[in-house]
Chain A
Amino acid sequence: MDEHKVRWKHDSNVRVPFAVYSDENTAAREQERIFRGAVWNYLCLDVELPRSGSYRTTFAGETPVVVTRDADGEIYAFENRCSHRGALIALEKSGTADSFQCVYHAWSYNRQGDLTGIAFEKGVKGKGGMPASFCKDEHSPRKLRVAVFCGLVFGSFSEDVPSIEEYLGDEICQRIERVLNKPVEVIGRFTQALPNNWKLYVENVRDSYHASLLHTFFTTFELNRLSQKGGVIVDGGGGNHVSFSMVEESSADASYKEQGLRSDNSKFRLRDTTVLELFPEIKDGITVQILSVFPGFVLQQHLNCLAVRQVLPKGTDHSELNWTYLGYIDDTPELRTVRLKQLNLVGPAGFISMEDGCVGGFVERGIAGAADLDAVVEMGGDATTSSEGRATEAAIRGFWKVYRQHMGQEGVK
């Protein structure tokens, strides 16, 4: 094992060694120290577990997890691994269950993940069976601590992780609350398979610098972006961030359609501009807010298009991005239509940001021969703090700061 394959050459995070995306040992250690370490992994939404017995299967990193709601109304999460031979306990993406039974040898578990039954525990006709000394209580799959914030369900394998509010930080909490301020419902789910290491995507989310450069939809159609102001918030620890665009309060009610589309002489014009119509609802002038939580959670408010995204590693060179689109339960039909129409702007087929699906692959392929070299992450200096404007890579450096703490890669080797 090559412990030093990933060499950080600076204490600050202005250089990121390319090996961090490809090294197998690093990937294995991430599973232990990050995803099963002192972090909160996003698991699902509270509303996706509507009643007693509802469950969903998901992942903390690559570790399979079952999330359930028990009769006491509380949410529980446990490793989706039978404590007998290790097979998956629950196979479906979601469902309702009184209890869980492994299909292999019918070991059974209650909704809190306790091992409750062993087939032929006493043997058959007095022969075989488990030794009397075997204690079921000591053989449950690993359980996760669960925390729910604004309907977002997080889980942690760590006893040491701080409370969810402390982990998120005050500013991040407020920014989640401004979006998830009333009951939501799921309006669709899609998964995007990304041809790159998971960290290239979470960097992309924190990268406010690339937006107008890679994504040329607005400039091609000569759309005046209403959002003239913007900024980046990095939480105290560095791992969580918000990037946002906003209009002045006074013009917050104006729609993109009214202000955004001009110029009869522009070369390319949208025929149907309703896709850009903004329905003012939160009324604080913030038109776009992309929020990330270490390691792999994103909350998106893009105009009226609301979504949560869950980034999951799949080996060193692939990852999966799970999109769950949301509406508020009290949406009028007109508002729901606005939300659905704006789905065209983001996601795997999004006018504005489909490029985020391929650009990580371009990096992945570009660095194939560069394991000893570094990426340059120096826009805005070496700061990992909040700033006005978007020409900064502060939130990316913040991610690496927290990443290195978890991975024990602080300091220069």
Chain B
Amino acid sequence: MAAKGNAPFSFQEKTWEKYGAGYSGLVVAPTGFGKTFSVFLGVLADFMNYPEQYASGLKLLWITPLRSLAKDLARAMQEVIDEIGLDWSVEVRNGDTDLKAKQRQSKQMPDVLLVTPESLHLLLAQKGRVKFFQSLKCVVVDEWHELLGTKRGVMVELALAFLKNEQNKLRIWGITATIGNLDEAMQVLLTNSKKKTKIVATEKKKIDIQSVFPDEVEILPWSGHLGSKLVEKVVPIILKSKSTLVFTNTRNQSENWYQLLLEAYPDFSGQIALHHSSIDGNIRQWIEEALSEGKLKAVIATSSLDLGVDFKPVDTVIQIGSSKGVARFMQRAGRSGHSPFETSTIYFVPTHSLELIEVAALKEAVKTKTIEDKTPMLLTFDVLVQFLVTLALGGGFKADVLFDVIKNTFAFSEMTEQEWRWCISFITTGGHSLKSYEEFHKVVENEEGLLVVEKRRIAMRHRMNIGVIVSDAMLRVKFISGGYIGMVEEYFISKLKPGDKFILAGRVLELLRIKEMTAYIRLSAGRAITPSWIGGRLPLSSNLSQFLRDKLSQSANNHPTEKELKFLHPLFVKQQETSRIPNVDEFLVEKITTKEGCHIFMYPFEGRLVHEVMASLMAYRISRLYPISFSMAMNDYGFELFSDSDIMLDDKQLAQILDRKNLMQDVFSSINATEMAQRKFRDIAVISGLVIQNLPGTQRSNKSLQSSSGIIFKVLEEHDPQHLLLRQAYAEVFNQQLEEPRLIAAFERISQSKIIYRTATQFTPLSFPIKVDNMRQSLSSEDLAQRIAKLQKQNLRKKPKRK
């Protein structure tokens, strides 16, 4: 590196020193500052100092969350090795690696191997696994912040515990961007390492955040339509930049923006591209390459491009709509201006005017470096039983020996012996009672007392399904003339008839027929529907909501300094006139009576998921006062209860329903936990092997083994209610869906706030977007815009003023 004229950063030098002293550790540094070389050069230096300690074979195992990162990383590593003049070889092994290379690796491992968590587990499922790892000195987990808090992170924990048990002196290093809970991140990764250290880079990435303002402030904002007005302002930004990444939050939104940009500036045709997870891998790879080579003016992407190799030509990033979290926003901003001393520029395009407050909040959060935690997952038995079968495949294991190894992971440190025995019986006899699972066949004990998989068919199926990423049943979309274009959910395509048109990858496609998990299409033109892919609707993080409440309350005073708040001034005035802008120590409740009925709005600013629970809870508590039924709507800022009869609530009753006493009991009574658990069980069933995933493009060779997780959930609830995987589903509901700690904190805060209860006869700027979201549920999209325009007119007799 010195030869290239780069002086090392101090965190790099420190990493080399600690690595040399035999430490494991966690390196924390922003992207673009050479995190990779901190640990990698440490390993090389150690080898050159003590070559006698290194045997031939695999020495360094490098785990990355993303396949696309591996190839470039391997190239960069090999370059360094060649420059130094070592004879080490660096290779990649993942789903993209061809069979021949894999076979060669299995015979003779390279010195450095780059894998994903999934491909590592696949290696552990091979009989030769002991041989593969016998010379291993170091495992590096790259982008640990991406894995922590997910089931893939648990996969890494399990694999590390297994490897560490085989090689006691193994050094483990994590590399991570800044997150809120770094100490915990280190604890999870390095539970088994005695000598460990955390190395934090002091270097900081500069981020410049620019808001894109509409011409006029919309006093009654609603989400979704502002894009078409702002596209005219986005075009010049793209034109003046070398290359731009446009981030959207959903695939649907990215398809729409692609169309909008082409309509606004037809010359973009051929110069811009669309990148999301439903677009075929080959096309995506082509786009990524074209982007690296500077051939594309802009790429409209979803989180599919959050991570990955740096695209050198990209100098501008545009974020459409709320990023929902500080970490994600900073990560996306960092996709432009890569060199350590460049500034990353990100433009924020609001989808409704209220989102501009979020920019003010984000700026504050970035300034104070208040970044979200990644909460590690615990006791994910679905991942564990999958791992146990994986180990049974790769030569087997002894249950009592492995128990201690698993107990040593962070995720399973609280596992009881009883739960462990359940997991073993789940894979050997099927379940707790032998009788009720007769004829079960999966893992058996062999003569040496090892638990192994004997049947080839079971082994093959397990290998194909290793991993914890569960997608909806997807169909590959293929041109009748040949060539794939991408994937769509089976759910979406099942509603279409041959001849119907839909949009994918920016093109209008006509459905011809469906055969063996493949939808055959041809190019078409004219009106078409964009699939609304399920999922991807992230709630606002609690960090961001804190800043949001602060900014909103600041805007209540008349002299805000931030541009965004100044711009929104007319909206705030209207809110103050018709209701109130809550101060930090206030909690606002609005009761709005219109022709159609009575609306109660509350604004906890805690994100959609928490609001969903709170809305059910409020509805439940009110209905205990007197009989009434509600419909509910929510966004990230607040929620609505609507009833066609009057919702009578005096101040005392309001205080009563907002009370934090008996909070969780009432939550349990108000929600349908079974239904929520059933949804969570979907992933669990696939990961644990109860449901076999239909892989896109493959023939349904397992058709006689198909069933849905919903059916299995019901069966188990009825016949085996103590099933550990069912209990896990409920636990996931409480931890993730209900966000219990956040819910309790919210009520804690509300109970200390002054409750402001306002009544109105027209919608306020804060309530309007929630109301509109509710209308969206019941109306088709064509008349929605008209209906809303009418509603806006009714509400605002005078026209909104120009800024």
Task: Say whether A and B bind each other.
Answer: no
Question: Interface of A with B (CB < 8 Å)?
Answer: none
Question: Interface of B with A (CB < 8 Å)?
Answer: none
